[in-house]
Amino acid sequence: MFSVIYLEQKVLNRNAFSLAIEQQADCKVIYKCGDIQPFLNFVQEQPTHPNLCILSDCFHYAQLTIIIKAIKSKSKHAYILLKSDSKFMKGICFLLKNGLDGVFFTDEPIIDFKNCVLNRTRFKMSADKLKLITTNKMSEFDIKTLQYNQTPLTNNEIEFIQACAKDQSYEEVAKELQKSVNTIYGYRDRIFKKLQVKQRTAMVMTALKRNYIDL
């Protein structure tokens, strides 16, 4: 049996992806969790170790580094895979330097990762991402400047995105939040810049993917 443990914060994502894993021949998710400490406890207490550990990048890079080091200290054979939306490239490179084995981008098609793990081959990723990772993997990064998965949004900006997710006009959002329309447009422009998006829909979807808001 090819055993997998999986750390993912969102329950629906965790269940859906676990099902996709188990649809592959002889694959079994032996443990899945949405919290760091129980997951770390499982890693440290198990006498036998999984073939594959999948970590979602919805957690801070420092927490993921602790888990990676714990797995590496217990087993030299477990493959550690980051399930990422590829928005935090510096953070990914930092994790690769600190023991992460591979990256799976969620906007790429799912492939047979069991064979990739067993054969130590690359997971499918686009050429530009692959080049960016391989050329920066051994570079030095200042941990303080990574800002990996730290919410860059203010509470007002998060409230603004939540209101936008209700499909309200900007005028309606301004009324709900008791702000001027000019202030609302200011929130929009700053968020677009912070999230590197150009459209309102992309703003909401990106905020959802990064767990800045929840519907």
CA distance 29 to 3: 6
Q: Which residues of the chain have pLDDT under 70?
A: 86-89, 107-113, 116, 119-151, 214-215
CATH number of 2-142: 3.40.50.2300
Which CATH architecture best describes the domain 155-209?
Orthogonal Bundle (1.10)
Query: With b meaning 16 or more CB within 10 Å and e meaning fewer, what string describes 175-210?
Result: eebebeeeebeebbebbeebbebeebeebbebbebb
Q: What is the pLDDT of residue 66?
A: 92
| Domain locations along the chain | 2-142, 155-209
Cα-only R_g, the chain: 19
Q: What is the pLDDT of residue 160?
A: 92
Structure tokens at 167: 């499909």
Of residues 36, 42, 35, the one with CA closest to residue 3: 42
Q: What is the pLDDT of residue 108?
A: 55
Of residues 124, 68, 73, the one with CA closest to residue 96: 68
Q: What is the pLDDT of residue 122?
A: 52
Q: What is the pLDDT of residue 209?
A: 72
CA distance 11 to 200: 26
Q: Please answer whether residues 99 and 67 qualify as being in contact, where contact means their C-beta atoms are separated by less than 8 angstroms.
A: no
Query: With b meaning 16 or more CB within 10 Å and e meaning fewer, what string describes 65-100?
Result: bebbebbeebbeebbbbbbbebebebbbbbbbeebb
Structure tokens at 150: 């730290």
